[in-house]
Structure 1
Amino acid sequence: MIQGVKQQKWWGWGEEGKAYQHADKPKFAPFVKRIVGVDINQPRMSPPPFESLDVPPSRLSEELRAEFQAIIGNKFVQSDDETRVVHAFGKGVRDLVRVRRGELGRVPDVVLYPGTEEEVARIVDSAIAADAVVIPFGGGSNIVAALEAEPGETRQVVSVNMGRLNKVLEIDAESGLARIQAGVFGPDMEDQLKARGWTMGHHPDSFVWSTLGGWIATRSSGMQSDKYGDIADIVRGLRMVMPGQILNLRPLPSTSSGPSVREMVLGSEGRLGIITEAWVQVHRIPEVRELQAYFFPSYGDGLRACQQIVESDAAVMMARVSDPMETQYIMANGKKSGRVGSLMSKAISKVMEAKGWDLEGICMSFVGFEGSPNHVRYEKGLVNKIVKANQGMGVGSGPGTLYDQKKYDTPYIRDFMLDHGLVADVSETTTPWAYAESLHTKVQQAVQDALDSRGKRGVVFSHLSHSYHSGACQYFTFAVADDSEDCLDTYDVVKRAIQQTFVDHHGTVSHHHGVGEEHSPWMAEDISEAGVFIQRKLFEGIDPGSNLNPGKIIHEGRPGISSNSSDA
């Protein structure tokens, strides 16, 4: 490891020693047993010791190693087994299952840690001159196989970890812009901005273990995008190292300079180069920040309320509603209530029953408010009227405060579930408002049909997470009870059913996780054959030797299968 550069554990999410615990959540084990038939109180499977892995030796030539050492120094050229394995995968379920099994695929031959843009440029040029593959690496949180070298890759594979480029370089206070290096992790960036009274306001689920460059490369969205926008709205300018040259896009509010080069870089997943820094919009830290919780009698009521909130004068920073199953999951994850909290919960349930609500069908919603005290008070009044008009009820800020404190811990649950034979993952999409509710229903049915075809139990649930004028993102979580050697086959059947339902029913293959290899088989259905043709020509024009993260976005065949294989 390199001092000052955070690194996740090789077998799962986050840092060593931190894991999901359910001992203080008395409702969670019964919930899991009831829904998927798995007893999480039974002894759990443990990841194997790293020493048991058969890590393929590095293929880095002595000549290329010497070149890299001359560029960045010996200690920033790492080829030990654990560092290489950490950089071989993201954190998708397919990644986690395979790495625990020791099915390592094409592990990078070397991991480089440049400290300047000039070093990045020299690395890229040296690698391409040697006909090597270059894969940019931020926090390693990617879940769509965007960090993995193609199976069967015979060339040298170079992973470029951007973690040393982690500074807020300058702030243009008059324009509300900050110039920030691409390798900075979310918390470190916000700490630097906060020290000067600013925030970027971008908080994806992966916030703790993802970087600015990774957000740009995947077109990320954060939990507060209703106010601050997606990363595509936030990034106004950037610099990117390309083969033999550096792209420099100035931080302009808007342009009419032909097809947008900035848009070409957003979501490019390393296919065009390595992003080194960006100019982003920043905002003064608001006086008041508050999350209010609401309940609705049905998911449809919650969806309609969120749409109306977006259409209203209430410019909230977040409007989120969970479907009934996710609501049950959230409540099952709560800690044991004290006497007062228990009495309040019972009182709320009594009110719902008096309204004629089915407690198995209720849906929890969180709405976030920021700004001056008067502004927040005005927005809350508007939202309360919309909630009531859609049969909803407010329950105060308590649940929202708890959600705010625990919102980055969710990924740890996936490792815990995998330890108990539950393969869990997520898929997200956007649709116009007109199709949001029907898509939700069709995905639920598609997952159940897929599970039935495999003879397995499982569950799918969802929440609306990001809203726009014309539609919204729905974020689906699914889990399959399958601890067999064929669990990835079952996973594929379910995952593919979800993705196909998206594109068949007015959705996109991904809203903010990107494409990688996982979603690439649906690209022609998503953006048309002509759209794929445009992207392919762009990548071929910039990278004719296919040295820059090949196989991502435009990918033949199925995930995990080389585009050159007979199965493609």
Structure 2
Amino acid sequence: MTTAATPGSAREVKRHKWWGWGLDDVTFRWDNKPAFAPFAYDKIGIDLPSLPPAVEPQLSDFEVPASILPGDVRARLVEVLGEDNVATDDEYRVVHSFGRSVRDLYRVRTGDFVRLVDAVVYPGTEEEVQRVLEIVLDADLVLIPYGGGSCISGSVTPDVDEKRPVVTLNLGRMRRVLSIDDTAGLAVVEAGVYGPDLEEQLNADGWTLGHFPDSFAYSTLGGWTATRSTGMQSDKYGDIADIVRGLHLVHPRGVLRIKGLPSQSTGPSLREIVVGSEGRLGVITQVTVQVHRLAPERQVIAYMFPDWEHGIRTMHAITRNTDIHTTFARLSDGDETAFSLSMLKEPTTLKSKVTATVQDKLFAYLASKGWDTERGMCIGYVCFEGSKEAVARQQGVVKKIVKANDGVSLGAGAGKIYDQKKFDTPYLRDFLLDYGVFGDVSETAAPWSRLNEVHAEVTAAVHRALDEIGRPGFVFCHMSHSYHSGACLYFTFAFPFTDDDRALAEYDTVKRTMQQAFIDHGATLSHHHAVGTEHQPWMEQDVTAVGVSILQDLFTTSDPGRNLNPGKIVTP
């Protein structure tokens, strides 16, 4: 088995740029996408060709408050971890004080540094995590566990009113696959491993976790576990709660070790209690996960439907068909389909030009049949994995279901483009912020019987909110993460803002409207983006006052001093 070496120090751990998503040299480009600028102008009134290039923010333009970590506490942390693994410099503290929600990104870009973390520590072993927690409790500090910093729910952001020193614990040095049980299909993995690094280690021995969230490149196994993450391929591999079979949690009373077993009947599930706890119970240091052999064949096929109703009926039929087990099945509504088509690059090779010509002829044919090819038709993607024979057989079954619902196949070429670009979307949000536009997402889950209602009512509610604040904007949606009883609906909205005191208030109006519409129509406040602080106001409506009080009792008893990421999920 191949394993990665633990990095020697904090400086070797991957991290976001301080003001946005991912790498400094990766950006979204619109000038090679002919339809994008017209789409942006039509939907949000932004005339991109007339605007000057965006200027990258500079941290030196802002005043960064000094760390309030006492010198003697810092010395104790250095004694445990070494000087290189205790960071108190400005950029490290800024990066670790914010997730990647729109609120956090707006605050960091405007220098809203009213409360930063005071130190970032990088333990290399579970024993070092224990010793850091002992120091935190002894000195009455606040400890916030940190994975990749990709969360959009406020889960890693310190409370602005917190007066005690705040320490962020980054597990990025703990990133090894420790063992793989070939017979059981279980891997023991350190919690700080990023998605690509984890897959690289597993793939080297012919395995995969199969967990690919949008944030895959900049999120970690521990973060996925702490926030109840879901990946794009959850139809086959399950949500993270299905994937996690055991774990280690460094708790104020010691280390909780949950065995990696297929199932247990030992009272309320401690594993389930820890999964989704967002650092309120301790630090997840090690996770036992179920892994799968890499499929010999993988193919994504794109399909087009005349409207949302036909597409949803197709996805429901695929999910319920016992002859197939797709890796994922996803459907975009008409507005998201129009957006996706606006993202296509200008054809430059003979092959891409031929493909574009064929697509134009197909769309013309569909328009002649009465399809609304501007914003009514809906694109879907279905992923098949397995042996060559199994993939072919399942594609045949899906083809019949698609045809029965008036859909047409766009083939593997369009599916391959989706598969290649699936992790690029977060860079678009940075681009929009550069030009004074909020672009954000919010997701929910509902039964099949209510999906159309939730889709229609949430969309209408967001448009009413945009009218209320007097801003042009758009909202679109896709269905993904199918289950026997229902699916996830993933909404995206965008609107321009004025860079003043009203900006976040207008954002809150739209965001609150969307979240309340979820609850009002029988859906959940979040399917996989966790609670943090962003979704906390709807917890009682979602899980009842009794549910909130049970969680409050759990956190208060486990952490009476409120030292572990206080204020997340529920408050006292």
TM-score by length of 1: 0.97
Match of 2:529 among 499, 513, 516: 513
Over residues 193-220 of structure 1, what are the superposed CA-to-partner deviations in whole Å (9 max), with x where a residue is unaligned?
Answer: 0000100000000000000000000000
Partner of 2:10, secondary structure, is: coil
Partner of 2:314, secondary structure, is: helix
1:216 is matched with: 225
1:378 is matched with: 393
- Matched ranges for 1:193-204 at <5 A: 193-204=202-213
Partner of 2:15, secondary structure, is: coil
Is 2:358 aligned against 1:344?
A: yes
1:560 is matched with: none
Q: Note the aligned Cα RMSD (angstroms).
A: 1.0
Contact (CA 8 Å) 1:125, 1:244: kept in 2 or not?
no
1:243 is matched with: 252
Partner of 2:47, secondary structure, is: coil
Match of 1:435 among 450, 470, 483: 450
Contact (CA 8 Å) 1:140, 1:210: kept in 2 or not?
yes
1:329 is matched with: 339
- Matched ranges for 1:59-138 at <5 A: 59-138=68-147
Shift of 1:466: 0.7
Partner of 1:397, secondary structure, is: helix
1:263 is matched with: 272
Shift of 1:390: 1.2
Is 2:58 aligned against 1:20?
A: no
Contact (CA 8 Å) 1:166, 1:180: kept in 2 or not?
yes
Contact (CA 8 Å) 2:144, 2:167: kept in 1 or not?
yes
**Structure 1 pair 46/483, CA: closer, same or farther in 2 (3 Å)?**
farther
1:500 is matched with: 516
Shift of 1:44: 4.3
Counterpart AA for 1:315: H
Greater Cα shift, 174-183 or 329-338:
329-338
2:403 is matched with: 388
The separation in 2 between residues aligned to 1:53 and 1:71, in whole angstroms, is 32
2:200 is matched with: 191
The separation in 1 between residues aligned to 2:569 and 2:445, in whole angstroms, is 18
2:3 is matched with: none
Counterpart AA for 2:39: F
Contact (CA 8 Å) 1:517, 1:555: kept in 2 or not?
no
The separation in 2 between residues aligned to 1:116 and 1:524, in whole angstroms, is 38
The separation in 1 between residues aligned to 2:178 and 2:47, in whole angstroms, is 50
Match of 2:299 among 282, 290, 305: 290
The separation in 2 between residues aligned to 1:529 and 1:47, in whole angstroms, is 45
Shift of 1:17: 1.4
Counterpart AA for 1:12: G
Over residues 36-80 of structure 1, what are the superposed CA-to-partner deviations in whole Å (9 max), with x where a residue is unaligned?
Answer: 111122124434311111111101111111110111111101100
Counterpart AA for 1:73: G
- Matched ranges for 1:516-531 at <5 A: 516-531=532-547
Counterpart AA for 1:454: I
The separation in 2 between residues aligned to 1:529 and 1:181, in whole angstroms, is 36
Counterpart AA for 1:328: A
Over residues 169-188 of structure 1, what are the superposed CA-to-partner deviations in whole Å (9 max), with x where a residue is unaligned?
Answer: 10000000100000000000
Contact (CA 8 Å) 1:47, 1:100: kept in 2 or not?
no
2:16 is matched with: 8
Counterpart AA for 1:252: L
Is 2:40 aligned against 1:32?
A: yes
Contact (CA 8 Å) 1:145, 1:516: kept in 2 or not?
yes
Counterpart AA for 1:422: V
The separation in 2 between residues aligned to 1:453 and 1:438, in whole angstroms, is 22
Unaligned runs of 5+ in 2: 1-8
Counterpart AA for 1:9: K
Partner of 1:366, secondary structure, is: strand
1:532 is matched with: 548
The separation in 1 between residues aligned to 2:197 and 2:160, in whole angstroms, is 34
The separation in 2 between residues aligned to 1:280 and 1:47, in whole angstroms, is 40
1:320 is matched with: 330
Shift of 1:420: 0.8
The separation in 2 between residues aligned to 1:17 and 1:342, in whole angstroms, is 29
The separation in 1 between residues aligned to 2:41 and 2:295, in whole angstroms, is 43
Over residues 288-314 of structure 1, what are the superposed CA-to-partner deviations in whole Å (9 max), with x where a residue is unaligned?
Answer: 000000001111111111111010021
Shift of 1:30: 0.6
Shift of 1:437: 0.7
Partner of 1:104, secondary structure, is: coil
Contact (CA 8 Å) 1:327, 1:363: kept in 2 or not?
yes
Shift of 1:258: 0.4
Shift of 1:105: 2.7
Shift of 1:240: 0.8
Contact (CA 8 Å) 1:121, 1:244: kept in 2 or not?
no
Shift of 1:350: 2.8
1:398 is matched with: 413
- Matched ranges for 1:172-191 at <5 A: 172-191=181-200
Over residues 127-186 of structure 1, what are the superposed CA-to-partner deviations in whole Å (9 max), with x where a residue is unaligned?
Answer: 011110000011010111111111121111000000000001100000001000000000
1:365 is matched with: 380
Partner of 1:214, secondary structure, is: helix
Contact (CA 8 Å) 2:211, 2:232: kept in 1 or not?
yes
Greater Cα shift, 538-547 or 348-357:
348-357
Unaligned runs of 5+ in 1: 557-568
Shift of 1:512: 0.5
Contact (CA 8 Å) 2:552, 2:571: kept in 1 or not?
no
Contact (CA 8 Å) 1:431, 1:471: kept in 2 or not?
yes
Over residues 341-392 of structure 1, what are the superposed CA-to-partner deviations in whole Å (9 max), with x where a residue is unaligned?
Answer: 2221122113312432111300000000000011111110111111111111
Counterpart AA for 2:334: P
How many residues end up aligned between the 2 structures?
A: 556
Shift of 1:3: 3.6
Partner of 1:341, secondary structure, is: helix
Is 2:154 aligned against 1:145?
A: yes
Identity of aligned residues (%): 50
Contact (CA 8 Å) 2:337, 2:377: kept in 1 or not?
yes
2:436 is matched with: 421
Partner of 2:112, secondary structure, is: coil
The separation in 2 between residues aligned to 1:518 and 1:299, in whole angstroms, is 29
Contact (CA 8 Å) 1:521, 1:555: kept in 2 or not?
no
1:563 is matched with: none
The separation in 2 between residues aligned to 1:81 and 1:152, in whole angstroms, is 20
Over residues 303-329 of structure 1, what are the superposed CA-to-partner deviations in whole Å (9 max), with x where a residue is unaligned?
Answer: 111111010021000000000010001
Is 2:169 aligned against 1:160?
A: yes
